[in-house]
Structure 1
Amino acid sequence: MNKNNYRLVFSGLRNMLVAVEETATGKEAGQSSQRRKEIQGVIFTLRQIAFAALMLLGVLPSWSSAQIVPAGPNAPGVIATQNGLPQVNINRPSGAGVSMNTYGQFDVQKNGAILNNSPTIVQTQQAGMINGNPNFGPGQSARVIVNQVNSSAASQINGRLEVAGQRAEVVIANGSGISVNGGGFINTSRAILTTGSPNFAPDGSLSGFNVTRGNISVQGAGLNAADIDQVDLIARAVQANAAIYAKNLNVVTGANSVNHDTLNATPIAGEGPTPGVSIDVSNLGGMYSNRIVLVGTENGVGVSTKGVLAAQAGDLILTTEGKLVLAGKTNASGSINVSARDGIENSGTTYAQQNVSATTSGTLTNSGVLAAQQNTTVNAGSAASTGTLGAGVNSDGTIANAGDLSISASGALMATGQNEAGGNTNISGASVNLAGSNTSANGTLALAASRGDLNVSGATTTAGGALMANAAGTLINDSGKMSGASVQATAANVSNRSGQLVSGSTLNVSAASGVSNQGGTMQSAGALAVNGGSLDNTAGRIVSLNGDGLNIASDALNNGTNGTIGTNGALNVHAGTLSNQGQLTAAGNAAVNAQSIDNHAGTITAGGALNVASPGAVNNRSGTLSGSTTTVAGSSIDNTNGDIEGDALAVSATGNIANQGGKLTQFGTADQAIQAGGTLDNTSGAIASNGNNLRIDGQTITNDKGNIQHAGTGTLAVNANGGLSNVAGNVLTNGALAARVAAHGVISRLISDRGMRVPTFCKMVSGANMACGTRQACRHR
């Protein structure tokens, strides 16, 4: 006989057509109905007795190899198909459509097995035509087929389990475990492999499972259920050492009461030792499905994946109450949502074509790739990433113009690898370490350390939009580069040693304690403001490139050697103490105000008005103060070997003015005044003015070897109530000379010649009387 060749004959016993071998014969349909029922009952009983006897003798039919052994109160009938496959004539379904079947053993060999869900002859893929199920009434079929195995051995599912007749949901439940090696399902709407005990509702429907023990393992030839709508693996633990294929795959692990319809899991007490890992996908393993949901509920029991998790037409959801290890390739055409109580470790590639969300109250570590084509969100107790965290990342690795990256940690956050977003990036933690990283956003980039330092030293931190950096401790950008369309940096301290803070528009730097810009650059295309308890700009550059101006406020400003603070607009400096051995420059006006000003060897210049003012001392020794209109005021002014100049010039001190070897120069014709409440010492110095009128006041004036030159045609007024010393000095005017001098009661006459365009060089020497020209005026005090 040709295998799998059958023909239909009429069975007198069953009063119906049946599929038989081609050599079999049938009976006519004229026998008595009562006789048929009697014979059917006797044969069915004899069949069960014979099968039991074979089991007692240890002799089973050759087709079975003892793979499917019915047992218990709901034992189904098991026969062989014409080609030798086990055919399970499942029990009549309940009113809820559930067929309950119990076994002492339930194994499916490589060539497969049949679950007969048809009351009539039906075609199957694996066994051809088979007879109808004698346990069914006309038109009857099961919606759910439960196969509960009560055994000390795990079920071996090494072939395909086919539902004959009406498509149905298939459940295999074995508390001792299930091993799959080449398993699959045919004509099945939903497949459930579980180590739990089935629970039933009062109406007979399957309500769920109680899982207290047992393991499901997939190995070798794997599990191919790609044509099944839904596959559920429900066990204390699941190991995938081979590929699992399904349309929708759900894995629920732990000791749980699991709802049949929703798969919601409620933890219950387990039996035996707690497994080390609840879901384990090895290097050779993988899960391929349209949508994947993995849930581990047991406290402290984690999930480890070294193989492939691929949600090929939907989302991937993975939740565990332990630690999650992602060491393989995890991807989804939809979104990836992972949550782990005890931490997440990603050393593989985790990528979603939509969004990625990773949540843990423990530590998230990443040495691989964690990225999404849309948004990526990380929320962790702490984070340590040396790999790539990305959003708006295309599958070829290029960055799009959308997709937000958010990394948040309640504790310390470290991300020293690549942190990239096509949209906005937000990184926050108690402390944040991005040292050496490449952190970027095409949109806004926000960095925040709520209780500690923000470290971007040696990093490249770039925003296409606004860049905002905030730290409760120190913002460290030493040797780093931070740039954005606008930049705002706020911290207790800002360290930008040899670093760069560059803005395409406004730049604002604020530090309650101090700003260190030694050898660093702070540069803006727009307005720039730096506020710090202290500011050290030794060899640094703080510059505003356009006319929006530069504002500096500091309790202690040190613009040390080779330091530059400059703007193409207005410059405003407010300081407690100012020490400038570098350059303060403004293309516009400049106002420098400090409790004390030390500009020795420094330069302060303005294209517009320059106003330098201090209630304390102004030290311009070997320094330069220059503006279109220059005003210098202090309790004392020391311009020894220095230059103070302007088109208009006003210099005043409530105390002394020292201009020894220095220059006080006015280039314009406006009236000029130099006023000292104490001594004006112009020894070897030069006071030169083109002003119409020049007034020089001092309690005492010393012009020894000095020059006072007035090129204006008005009056040079010299007032020295305490005396004037002009040893080898010159007092020159193109106008009138008016002097009010009391010098030890000795100098009694001052002479001026108005008629000379270039004035006579008059030498006024203490204790001598001078007479120059023909027109004289004398006032004695």
Structure 2
Amino acid sequence: MNRRCYQLIFNARRGQIMAVSEAGSRQGKSQPGESSAPAAVLAWAVGASLLLGGASPVAAQIVAYKDAPGNQRATVLRSGNGVPIVNVQTPSAAGVSRNTYSQFDVGGEGAVLNNSRTGAVTEVAGKVGANPWMAKGTARIIVNEVVSANASRLRGTVEVGGDRAEVVIANPSGIEVDGARFSNTSRATLTTGVPVHQDGKLHGYTVKQGTITVQSGGLDASQTDYTAILARALKVNGAIHAKELHVITGANAISADHKTVTPIAGTGAPPAVAVDVSELGGMYAGKIRLVGTEAGVGVRNAGKIVASAGEVVISSEGFIVNTGTIASSNQIQLAQRDTFTNTGTLQSAGAIKIAGRSHLYNSGRIQAGTDVHLETTGTDSDITHTDTAFLLAGLVSQEEGDVWGDTGSIDMGATGNVIASGKTMAAQSITASGGAIGTWGGELSAPLVMLYALPNPRRVRSRRTDPTATEDTQDNRVLEPGDINLTNAILTAHAKLVAQTDASLITDGADIAAPQMELGAADISNRLGRIRQLGDTALQLFVSGHIDNTGGTLVGRGDVRVRAGTLGNDQGRLLAAQVLRLDIGALANARGVLHGDLGLQAHAVSLSNAGLVDGAVQVDTQLRNDGTIQGSANASHIHNTGKIDGIATATESLENDGTVTGLAKAGTHLTNRGTLGDVATATLALRNSGTIAANASAGEVSNSGTIAGWVRSGATLDNSGTIASSATADTQLSNSGAIAGEAKAGTSLDNSGRIDGAAIARTGLTNSGVIAGFAQSGCRPGQ
């Protein structure tokens, strides 16, 4: 050995670099037959760095792992200003520099990963010398693997000196970040996984354990093109700034490009939360992607997740809970296996899509510049928007405030119920489909609103109670399977409303308005509600069951056509600007109004009216009128205690205790205790104790009232009242009242009253009263 050759070594006792002869004694001297070349190269590397950069060996912050192979042990020095300089190891042919440490902590002064062949000027350490391990070329990826039971602590800048490179810091025991920053780094990866190398290439990562925690000092990767955090769990108590942020949590095998993620068995119990962003935490990046693969382990955000140039994508095999803000200048996509809960704000300049296999619950604000798509596919999974919720599509945020754009639709689909009790508004359309729809007190507004209750016919579903209801509203917030319940809602469709269900459509206390409506249900309840069709097309309500319009209003600017099994209109109003057409099984109009400006055509199997029917009615069986019918009335049986302002025709019986202004005609019996304003006829019998203002005829006539015209009976006539004209009976005539004209009987005539005209009987005439004209017996009537 050349005794005049010297090497530079660090003297621990003196705490300085010393030049010693290679002939001198030293610790760890090679034994006979053992090469000392690696030690010489290391010494040369240290010396070169010291001479060029003024650096000294570093105290124990970053410590190379002593048991690692030589080609994985970096040289750790300290610059003149106290910044650690790490001469990372020679890269493989694939450009991967692999470095193993027993400690990798970065203080506030920062640290330099020296990737320079010729020296470089760095931000945190000033000028650094050449890294001799880079003699054949610099690294493309610098992998820093920590073998320790302790977490790494990153509190300063991690800078790549020299050529820009991707940096990986991997510690399965965890990483704590508090004021860290990356400089001159193309890509940065923080992971609690073990890097997997194959043929000199970084093949991927195996993550089985470990938490990465970002404390209040945060992480600044804003000068790095891409930042990844790969850990079993992530806690964020400070701000993360990046251009593109990709977070993958759970026990996984992850490819080097992070595009392939395969769940594996983890070490120990899973964490309670995969990603936990506190109120003081936040993620700020151009675009953000969070992936949680561990079953049942969710994502919780109480801070801010903001993508300024791209989308926010969050995928969780557990739950997603947002009490903070998730915002994007592009779009937001959320997918979760378990429940989604939002009490905070989701805001996007583009679309928002939330898809899951369990319940979706929103009591906060979801606002998209374009579309909102909400979907739950699990068994009986619900979508619920509470009274305080906002769901907005097409609302664009501008400097002067939020303005509505031209596009924006809301699409909600659930296998369970869709409940929208807050404000739901869209620039184009709102579509809701589920086992049942409920909007108690909610406000819905869009040009096109489509509601479909589509219960699964293969599954028996129980009635549901709105989980957001208070004790005061609980009784009114029960949602039966298949119902569309719009109780107390304000629903405005600026172009068209479609509501279809095989069960009940409930609009009690609601205000429903649209130029065009397509409403289909088995039953409709509109108690104290308003359904207003504002366009000229016909409003059609076709239901197989019952329409309850108690105190409600159904109105159309064109025709209104109602077909139902039964209709209850107690103090309600059915109004048409053109023709009101009713085809009802049983119609009960108690103190209500049925009116068409151009006419009313009402057909019912039975009708009970105590209100106003402003037009003609056709009833197959029983018509009971205690109100007013301003038109003709036709039925099998008519019982009138009100007013029929027109003709009353009964194919069987007619009973009048009120007023009929027109002809009264009965197929069998007519009984009048009121007033008939025109001719009264009956095939079998007519009994009058009221007033008939014109002629009367029947098979049999019994009069104790007043008949202003003549009376003709096909059989007997019994008069104890007043007949203002003649009276004729084909058989017997009995008079104890007054007949102002002549009286004729086909058989006998018995008079104990007054006949002002002639009295003529065919077989016999008995008189104990007054006959003012002549009396004749033994001739036929008409002779």
TM-score bin (small chain) = 0.7 to 0.9
Could you tell me which residue of structure 1 aligns to residue 185 of structure 2? 188
Q: Does the 8 A contact of 1:401 with 1:442 survive in 2?
A: no
Gaps of 5+ in 2: 1-5, 9-34, 48-54, 456-480, 736-741, 747-754
**Paired residue for 1:437, among 442, 447, 454?**
442
C-alpha separation in 2, matches of 1:302 and 1:421: 30
The answer to whether residue 713 in structure 2 is matched with residue 720 in structure 1 is: yes
1:740 is displaced (CA, Å) by 6.5
Q: Does the 8 A contact of 1:707 with 1:729 survive in 2?
A: yes
Could you tell me which residue of structure 1 aligns to residue 669 of structure 2? 656
Within 5 Å, which residues of 2 pair with 1:531-546?
531-544=563-576, 546=577
Q: Does the 8 A contact of 1:445 with 1:463 survive in 2?
A: no
C-alpha separation in 1, matches of 2:402 and 2:500: 30
1:681 is displaced (CA, Å) by 2.6
C-alpha separation in 2, matches of 1:348 and 1:763: 98
Could you tell me which residue of structure 2 aligns to residue 4 of structure 1? none
The answer to whether residue 722 in structure 2 is matched with residue 729 in structure 1 is: yes
144-153 vs 457-466, which moves further: 457-466
1:419 is displaced (CA, Å) by 1.6
**Paired residue for 1:225, among 211, 221, 227?**
221
Q: Does the 8 A contact of 2:250 with 2:294 survive in 1?
A: yes
C-alpha separation in 2, matches of 1:368 and 1:346: 6
In structure 2, do the counterparts of structure 1 residues 40 and 132 end up closer, same or farther at CA, with 3 Å as the change threshold?
Answer: farther
Within 5 Å, which residues of 2 pair with 1:643-682?
643-645=660-662, 649=663, 651-665=664-678, 674-682=680-688
- What amino acid sits opposite 1:624 in the alignment? K
Q: Does the 8 A contact of 2:448 with 2:495 survive in 1?
A: yes
C-alpha separation in 1, matches of 2:523 and 2:176: 61
1:699 is displaced (CA, Å) by 0.4
The answer to whether residue 634 in structure 2 is matched with residue 613 in structure 1 is: yes
- What amino acid sits opposite 1:473 in the alignment? A
C-alpha separation in 2, matches of 1:308 and 1:704: 90
**Paired residue for 1:209, among 202, 205, 213?**
205
In structure 2, do the counterparts of structure 1 residues 762 and 83 end up closer, same or farther at CA, with 3 Å as the change threshold?
Answer: farther
Could you tell me which residue of structure 2 aligns to residue 741 of structure 1? 730
In structure 2, do the counterparts of structure 1 residues 483 and 698 end up closer, same or farther at CA, with 3 Å as the change threshold?
Answer: same
Could you tell me which residue of structure 2 aligns to residue 410 of structure 1? 415
**Paired residue for 2:276, among 280, 283, 289?**
280
SS in 2 for 1:539: coil
| Cα displacement string for residues 510-555 of structure 1 (whole angstroms, at most 9, x for unaligned residues) | 43331211111111112222233221111111111x22x2222332
Within 5 Å, which residues of 2 pair with 1:75-474?
75-138=73-136, 140-202=137-199, 204-380=200-376, 381-386=381-386, 387-395=389-397, 396-446=401-451, 448=453, 450=455, 451-474=481-504
506-515 vs 348-357, which moves further: 506-515
Could you tell me which residue of structure 2 aligns to residue 633 of structure 1? 650
C-alpha separation in 1, matches of 2:604 and 2:572: 18
In structure 2, do the counterparts of structure 1 residues 748 and 226 end up closer, same or farther at CA, with 3 Å as the change threshold?
Answer: closer
C-alpha separation in 1, matches of 2:138 and 2:757: 132
In structure 2, do the counterparts of structure 1 residues 743 and 42 end up closer, same or farther at CA, with 3 Å as the change threshold?
Answer: closer
C-alpha separation in 2, matches of 1:643 and 1:367: 59
C-alpha separation in 1, matches of 2:190 and 2:61: 20
**Paired residue for 1:570, among 588, 599, 602?**
599
1:268 is displaced (CA, Å) by 0.2
Within 5 Å, which residues of 2 pair with 1:43-54?
43-46=40-43
C-alpha separation in 1, matches of 2:179 and 2:383: 40
In structure 2, do the counterparts of structure 1 residues 763 and 687 end up closer, same or farther at CA, with 3 Å as the change threshold?
Answer: farther
SS in 2 for 1:362: coil
| Cα displacement string for residues 63-94 of structure 1 (whole angstroms, at most 9, x for unaligned residues) | 43433434412112222234332222222222
Q: Does the 8 A contact of 1:728 with 1:763 survive in 2?
A: no
Q: Does the 8 A contact of 1:748 with 1:778 survive in 2?
A: no
- What amino acid sits opposite 2:108 in the alignment? K
C-alpha separation in 2, matches of 1:684 and 1:411: 62
C-alpha separation in 2, matches of 1:761 and 1:486: 67
In structure 2, do the counterparts of structure 1 residues 738 and 700 end up closer, same or farther at CA, with 3 Å as the change threshold?
Answer: closer
SS in 2 for 1:677: strand
C-alpha separation in 1, matches of 2:557 and 2:413: 31
Q: Does the 8 A contact of 1:697 with 1:720 survive in 2?
A: yes
C-alpha separation in 1, matches of 2:728 and 2:221: 112
1:43 is displaced (CA, Å) by 4.3
* TM-score, reference length from structure 2: 0.81
C-alpha separation in 1, matches of 2:705 and 2:602: 36
1:318 is displaced (CA, Å) by 0.6
SS in 2 for 1:379: strand
C-alpha separation in 1, matches of 2:155 and 2:759: 122
SS in 1 for 2:41: helix
Q: How many corresponding residue pairs?
A: 682
- What amino acid sits opposite 2:64 in the alignment? V
Q: Does the 8 A contact of 1:731 with 1:762 survive in 2?
A: no
- What amino acid sits opposite 2:118 in the alignment? T
C-alpha separation in 1, matches of 2:511 and 2:76: 76
1:641 is displaced (CA, Å) by 3.2
C-alpha separation in 1, matches of 2:42 and 2:396: 68
Within 5 Å, which residues of 2 pair with 1:474-489?
474-489=504-519
- What amino acid sits opposite 2:605 in the alignment? G
Gaps of 5+ in 1: 1-11, 15-37, 51-59, 666-672, 689-693, 710-715, 752-759
The answer to whether residue 558 in structure 2 is matched with residue 526 in structure 1 is: yes
SS in 1 for 2:357: strand
**Paired residue for 1:580, among 605, 609, 620?**
609
1:302 is displaced (CA, Å) by 0.8
C-alpha separation in 2, matches of 1:641 and 1:271: 90
- What amino acid sits opposite 1:743 in the alignment? Q
| Cα displacement string for residues 542-571 of structure 1 (whole angstroms, at most 9, x for unaligned residues) | 111x22x222233221111x2111111332
C-alpha separation in 2, matches of 1:190 and 1:764: 124
1:582 is displaced (CA, Å) by 0.9
Q: Does the 8 A contact of 2:550 with 2:570 survive in 1?
A: yes
SS in 2 for 1:108: coil
1:427 is displaced (CA, Å) by 2.1
1:309 is displaced (CA, Å) by 0.5
- The two structures, once aligned, show a CA RMSD in angstroms of 3.1
| Cα displacement string for residues 314-362 of structure 1 (whole angstroms, at most 9, x for unaligned residues) | 1000111111110111111111111111101111111111111112211
- What amino acid sits opposite 1:723 in the alignment? T
* TM-score, reference length from structure 1: 0.81
SS in 2 for 1:129: strand
| Cα displacement string for residues 385-430 of structure 1 (whole angstroms, at most 9, x for unaligned residues) | 2211221223345544531112222113332222222221112322
